[in-house]
Chain A
Amino acid sequence: AASEDGEDEDEDDEPPKGRRAANKKKAAQADEEDSDDDIPQRRCNEAVNHLMFCLSGDDSKSDEEEESMSEGEMAKLMEEVEEKKKLIANIRNKPWRMRRRLKVLKEAQQFVDKFEGALGKGKGRKLYAYKVMMMKKWIKFQRDFENFRTSCIPWERKIKEVESHFGSSVASYFIFLRWMYGMNLVLFSLTFGLVVIPEVLMGLPYGSIPRKTVPRDEQATAMDYSVLMDFNGYCKYSVLFYGYYNNQRTIGLLKFRLPLSYLLVGIGTFGYSLMVVIRTMAKNADVGGGDGEDNEFTFAWKMFTSWDYLIGNAETADNKYASITTSFKESIVDEQENQKDENIHLRRFLRVLANFLITCTLGGSGYLIYFVVKRSQEFANMDNLSWYEKNELEIIMSLLGLVGPMLFETIAELEEYHPRIALKWQLGRIFALFLGNLYTFLLALFDEVNSKLEEEDSIKNASIWFVKEYYANYSANNPNDTGTPPPIDPADIIRGPCWETTVGIEFVKLTISDIQVTYLTILIGDFLRALIVRFLNYCWCWDLEAGWPSYGEFDISGNVLGLVFNQGMIWMGAFYAPGLLGINVLRLLTSMYYQCWAVMACNVPHERVFKASKSNNFYMGLLLLILFLSLLPVVYTIMSLPPSFDCGPFSGKERMFDVIMETIDLDLPAFMGTLFGYVANPGLIIPAVLLMVLAIYYLNSVSEAYKNANMELKKKMQMVSILCVQVHNNCPGACDSSARPQGTWTSTWPTRARQGSRATP
């Protein structure tokens, strides 16, 4: 400190000398304490010497007396300012107490403010000052935007309430639901904005062309409630379904290319979903640290990470205590019992039997669905159907979805797996059930589509013949009228079967019935059950609350799988029924409120709590798989099935993707066409695919090498520490405690290390 004062004396004698010295001392102290900063004191003081007297604050010297700084000093000063700025940005990452952080922040900010002003003087100062101001405004804007963004996230309070009562695993379902809602909202706005609105605003109105009009023979019943519930009548000939859209190449003043937009939005839906799912998976994998060796730290993790700090409810806490104790006891016993194998042959036989039964169940349910779809096709040709016969397909599918998992759980009793493994098997089987059902449904649907396509040929001819007949009759009946005959009323023209709209209607009906079944299940299975248990308990022989049936627990995996499969159906159906996305958004919105209410009112916290964290990526993986599986049918139909001749935006074309060819030919400049021709050449695509395969192989082997290097380092670390312990044991006092690695502990309590006290700071 003395030397600094000495250097100070050399400058002009300044009235605020005391203040300058005090400032410098503070800066020096800050440097001492911040062992993480390596700003050399001398440089700092030099800069201070040069500039302090220019920047004495209120009683400032006028500009004429400022010294010009050399380039080197300017650069050094800039470096220091940058370092201080970095410190300010990272200050919250340091595990210091608030007092210290505040002090350091204030000093760093003072430093930056003073010297940024100084740097501004001289050449280019206006630009520099402008840059500084823009940077400050940008940081403030970013912070405000972050605050705004977090306040926009809906349902935080609700989810927090659920979390404090039920723990983080149940809340993870609601977080997943909210995430799905966000994704569906984006998809819906995409479709709505780029497909539905242009058609409504700029396309032809209802009733102008055949595809937009209810046919004459259906008009009598078109407004009936039962017909509308089946999505026939006015519903069928509306923007909800594929068949309404016109195939005009451009519509309206803006020359909006609707068919192209329809196709691109359909593909874009999948692209966006894929991107979002993979991004979330990558983020989860990052945080979770990957799967790796998950048996490595079982006990330590149970000890240090099993308490859920979000629990704010005494009953949940008691449950948590019980489950932690159980899991401790279990893992201790597990360790001891690893060698025990009681009657392994019986167990194996039982497991094989269980798997056989389950495969039978899966096969049976698949066949049942196929049978029911065939029957529904027969019903379609009959009249006067009962309500059950009309909705048989949807009812059967939903019932299977309900009964199947319960059946699997009962059969799984035979297997006697550890509960976590049993849960995985259960999830896998439910997944197989839903997948099988969905694909059987699709296959049956394709049968229907093919039969409609055959029908179409004959109807096409019939329709053309009908129009010719009409004109011929007209001329025959009105020989005097030489003008053109009036056009046929759109309602009278013979219509093709329009298979796309049929497919869309099937998906919409399936979704609606799925919604109804889910809500009814919650109402009956949870709410009614809770009412019965609560009120019948007063007059029942055994304790309903403690014994059977008691209150229900929230079935996380069942609900998540239901959500995932529902999304799969939406993805499949969205191309043929643009309105389906809107229906799904409404469904997710109401689901959120309804299920939050149901969980808080009717459910109790789980007895055994399983950490759902790794399951997060498991469910995302399922979602990704479903996304691919839903992509396949849609892409297949786009590529290989011919579109209907008289409905939808692609009518009249050979294949749906011909729209793209047409656009390239007509709208884009000529060279783009040849470019695309070259790119689509198999000779170019095959090498590209090979390159990607090689890249995957290379990255895989690199990651293997890193894993091996990791193992080696770990072994080295263990060897070094064992050696250190041996040295310590053999020559006591040879290495004192300060030499032992204590991590960042010593740097945060310099006073403790110096004083050697045991007081907490």
Chain B
Amino acid sequence: MGGTSSKLPKDLLSEYQELTFLTKQEILLAHKIFSELQGGENGPYSSRVSMQKILTLPELKANPFRKRLCHVFSTSDMKDGSLNFEDFLDLLSAFSDSATLEIKSHYAFRIFDFDDDGTLDARDLEKLVNCLTGETDNTRLTAEEMRQLISNILEESDIDKDGTVNLSEFQHVISRSPDFVSSFKIVL
């Protein structure tokens, strides 16, 4: 067994409290869980945890966007979705109860942007719908329904009529929703 449960230094702890929306207990809990994930890693104490390990967390296991979450919050150069502790804290902070609507909508946009081009076009929306309706065949939508749905969505949210939803249009739509802040929440 590689890693011991190292303690988080106090000054780092207070800095993280300044920089995130998490309380002290939440940061300590995140550190404990992150250390457990690292502890099973073979080899030396590496600061990054691979995506497969992150996806074993019960809070993320059932989430259809779990892979996108890892990719969005990862700062790894290899683009493999691995997270270090600070990325993990970023994730928890954005999904915490006290995060502002701007932060949440910002990250939601990036999660839904499957091809990372800065806008949500029809392909992104189609992938999004397929994620939401599950993987089994009897829950997927037919091609006709999909087309209808996407055209309805673009009609509602695309203000400048360029066929894609950019960040400001997305934030405009989301800011009026009463459900968004309460459903966009992950608690360890």
A→B interface (CB under 8 Å): 88, 91-93, 95, 97-99, 101-102, 105-106, 143, 146-147, 150-151, 160, 163-164, 168, 287-289, 292, 296-301, 303-314, 316-318, 321-322, 324-325, 328-329, 332, 335, 611, 613-614, 717-718, 721-722, 724-725, 740-745, 758, 760-761
Contact = CB atoms under 8 A, between A and B. Distances in A.
B86 interface: yes
Q: Which of B61, B65, B93 has the most CB of A within 10 A?
A: B61
Given A305-B174, A308-B183, A312-B59, A92 B93 contact: yes
A314 B61 contact: yes
B62 A307 contact: no
Given A296-B156, A305-B183, A311-B63, A742 B168 contact: yes
Contacts of B25: 147, 150-151
Given A99-B86, A105-B19, A287-B178, A758 B183 contact: no
Interface of B: 15, 17-21, 23-25, 58-59, 61-65, 71-72, 75, 79, 86-87, 89-90, 93, 95, 100, 102-103, 106-108, 112, 116-118, 125, 128-129, 132-134, 136, 139-141, 145, 148-149, 152-153, 156-157, 159-162, 166-168, 170-171, 173-187
B167 A304 contact: no
A90 to B, nearest CB: 10
A510 to B, nearest CB: 35
Contacts of B125: 303
Nearest to A722: B161
A721 B182 CA distance: 32
Q: Which of B18, B63, B89 has its CB near the most chain A CB atoms (within 10 A)?
A: B18
B139 A102 contact: no
B63 A97 contact: no
Query: Most A CB atoms within 10 A — which of B72, B106, B145, B179?
Result: B179
Contact of A321 (B20, B134, B153, B178): B134
Contact of A742 (B64, B72, B118): B118
Given A328-B145, A745-B167, A721 B183 contact: no
B19 A102 contact: yes
Contacts of B129: 303, 328
Nearest to B151: A299
B159 A717 contact: yes
B153 to A, nearest CB: 5
Contact of A297 (B139, B140, B157, B186): B157
Contact of B167 (A91, A297, A742): A742
A670 B100 CA distance: 54
B62 A313 contact: yes
A314 B116 contact: no
12 contacts: A88-B18, A93-B102, A99-B86, A168-B182, A297-B176, A299-B153, A304-B174, A307-B63, A307-B65, A317-B64, A332-B148, A760-B72
A146 to B, nearest CB: 7
B86 to A, nearest CB: 4
Nearest to B64: A307
B152 A299 contact: yes
Binding site of A, secondary structure by majority: helix, strand, loop or mixed?
Answer: helix
A743 B148 CA distance: 28
A757 to B, nearest CB: 11
Nearest to A321: B134
B103 A93 contact: yes
B102 A95 contact: yes
A98 to B, nearest CB: 4
Given A289-B176, A329-B145, A300 B62 contact: no
Nearest to A714: B159
A740 B167 CA distance: 12
Contacts of B136: 321
Nearest to A91: B19
Given A151-B23, A305-B184, A329-B141, 18 more contacts: A92-B21, A102-B86, A164-B58, A168-B183, A289-B178, A296-B156, A300-B153, A301-B179, A303-B132, A303-B153, A304-B108, A304-B170, A328-B141, A332-B152, A613-B182, A725-B161, A744-B167, A745-B166
B141 A289 contact: no
Contacts of A151: 23, 25
A594 to B, nearest CB: 24
Nearest to A101: B19
Contacts of B145: 328-329, 332
A725 B170 CA distance: 19
A304 B109 CA distance: 9
A324 B133 contact: yes
Contacts of A761: 75
A75 B65 CA distance: 51
Nearest to B73: A97
B41 to A, nearest CB: 21
B20 A92 contact: yes
Given A98-B86, A105-B15, A307-B183, A299 B139 contact: no
B106 A95 contact: yes
Contact of B19 (A92, A303, A305, A744): A92
Contacts of B160: 721-722, 724-725, 740
Contact of B134 (A168, A318, A614, A724): A318
A179 to B, nearest CB: 15
A440 to B, nearest CB: 36
Contacts of B171: 743
A324 B79 CA distance: 31
A312 B149 contact: no
A92 B22 CA distance: 10
Contacts of A717: 159
B64 A300 contact: no
Contacts of B166: 740-743, 745
A325 B167 contact: no
A-B interface, 9 closest residue pairs, ranked by CB to CB distance from nearest: A321-B134, A721-B160, A288-B178, A743-B168, A98-B86, A317-B62, A743-B167, A95-B106, A299-B152
A613 to B, nearest CB: 5
Nearest to B183: A308
Given A93-B103, A305-B174, A98 B90 contact: yes
B130 to A, nearest CB: 11
A544 B95 CA distance: 40
A310 B20 CA distance: 20
Contact of B173 (A304, A306, A311, A718): A304
A85 B41 CA distance: 41
A311 B62 contact: yes
Most buried by B among A312, A717, A741: A312
B137 to A, nearest CB: 11
B152 A335 contact: yes
Contact of A305 (B62, B65, B180): B180
Contacts of A313: 62
Contact of B176 (A296, A725, A745): A296
Contacts of A106: 15
Best-surrounded residue of A304, A305, A611 (most CB of chain B within 10 A): A304
A147 B187 contact: no
Contacts of A143: 17
B173 A91 contact: no
B106 A744 contact: yes
Given A146-B23, A300-B156, A309-B184, A98 B179 contact: no
Contacts of B178: 287-289, 613-614
B173 A301 contact: yes
A761 B132 CA distance: 27
A164 B59 contact: yes
A97 B175 CA distance: 23
Contacts of B134: 318, 321-322, 325
- Which one of B72, B170, B176 has the highest number of Cβ atoms from chain A below 10 Å of its Cβ? B176
A105 B177 CA distance: 33
A151 B26 CA distance: 10
A185 B136 CA distance: 49
